[in-house]
Amino acid sequence: MRVRATTAAPRGAALALLALLPGCYIDLDGLTGGAEDSLDPGDPGRCAPGDCSVQCVVAAAEAAGAPAAIAAVGPYVVWTSREGDRVRRLDPATDAVEDLVSFTPVPGLLAAAEGLVVWAAGDGLWHCPADGCAAGATSLIAFGPGEAEAVRGLATDGRDVYWTRDEPSGTAGELRRCPVAEGCGAAPELLALSQSHPRGVAVTPGDAGDVVWVQRGTGAEFGRVLRLDKGASSPAAPAQLAVRLDFPDRIALGGAEVLWTWADPGGAAGGVSRCDLVEGCVEEALAPQTEPARPLREPAAILIDGAEAYWVNRGGGTVMRCPTAGCPGYPEVLAEGLTRPAAVAVQGACVYAIDEADGGRVVRAPR
- 86 in Cβ contact with 98 (< 8 Å): no
Residue 185: which pLDDT band, with cuts at 50, 70 and 90?
confident
Computed over its alpha carbons, how large is the radius of gyration of the chain?
19
- 18 in Cβ contact with 153 (< 8 Å): no
pLDDT at residue 97 is higher than 80: yes
Lowest mean per-residue pLDDT among 139-148, 171-180, 261-270, 281-290: 261-270
The CATH number of 3-7+40-366, from 2.120.10.30, 3.40.50.800, 3.30.1360.30, 2.40.50.100, is 2.120.10.30
- 78 in Cβ contact with 89 (< 8 Å): yes
SS (H, E, C) the chain: CCEECCCCCCCHHHHHHHCCCCCCCCCCCCCCCCHHHHCCCCCCEECCCCCCCCCEEEECHHHHCCEEEEEEECCEEEEEECCCCEEEEEECCCCEEEEEECCCCCCCCEEEECCEEEEEECCEEEEEECCCCCCCEEEEEECCCCCHHHEEEEEECCCEEEEEECCCCCCCEEEEEEECCCCCCCCCEEEEEEECCEEEEEECCCCCCEEEEEECCECCCCCEEEEEECCCCCCCCCEEEECCCECEEEEEECCCEEEEEEECCCCCCEEEEEEECCCCCCCEECCCCCCCCCCCCCEEEEEEECCEEEEEECCCCEEEEEECCCCCCCCEEEECCCCCCCEEEEECCEEEEEECHHHCEEEEEEC
pLDDT digits 0-9 by tens, 62-86: 999 999 999 999 999 999 999 999 9
pTM of structure: 0.88
Q: What's residue 284's pLDDT?
A: 97
- Dihedral of CA atoms 190, 191, 196, 202 in degrees, nearest 10, equals -120
Q: What's residue 234's pLDDT?
A: 81
Average confidence score pLDDT of the chain: 88
- 114 in Cβ contact with 106 (< 8 Å): no
Largest CA-CA distance found in the chain, in angstroms, rounded? 59
CA 102 – CA 121 distance, rounded (Å): 13
- 90 in Cβ contact with 104 (< 8 Å): no
End-to-end CA gap in the chain: 39
Say what percent of the chain tops pLDDT 90.
Answer: 78
Domain ranges of the chain: 3-7+40-366
Lowest mean per-residue pLDDT among 156-165, 199-208, 236-245, 267-276: 267-276
CA 253 – CA 209 distance, rounded (Å): 10
Residue 170: which pLDDT band, with cuts at 50, 70 and 90?
confident
Burial tier of 146 (Cβ tally within 10 Å: 0-12, 13-18, 19+):
exposed
CA 225 – CA 247 distance, rounded (Å): 11
Looking at per-residue pLDDT, the higher value among 12 and 304 belongs to 304
pLDDT at residue 91 is higher than 70: yes
Q: Which residues are bridge partners to 141 per DSSP?
A: 125
Q: What's residue 42's pLDDT?
A: 42
Residue 236: which pLDDT band, with cuts at 50, 70 and 90?
confident
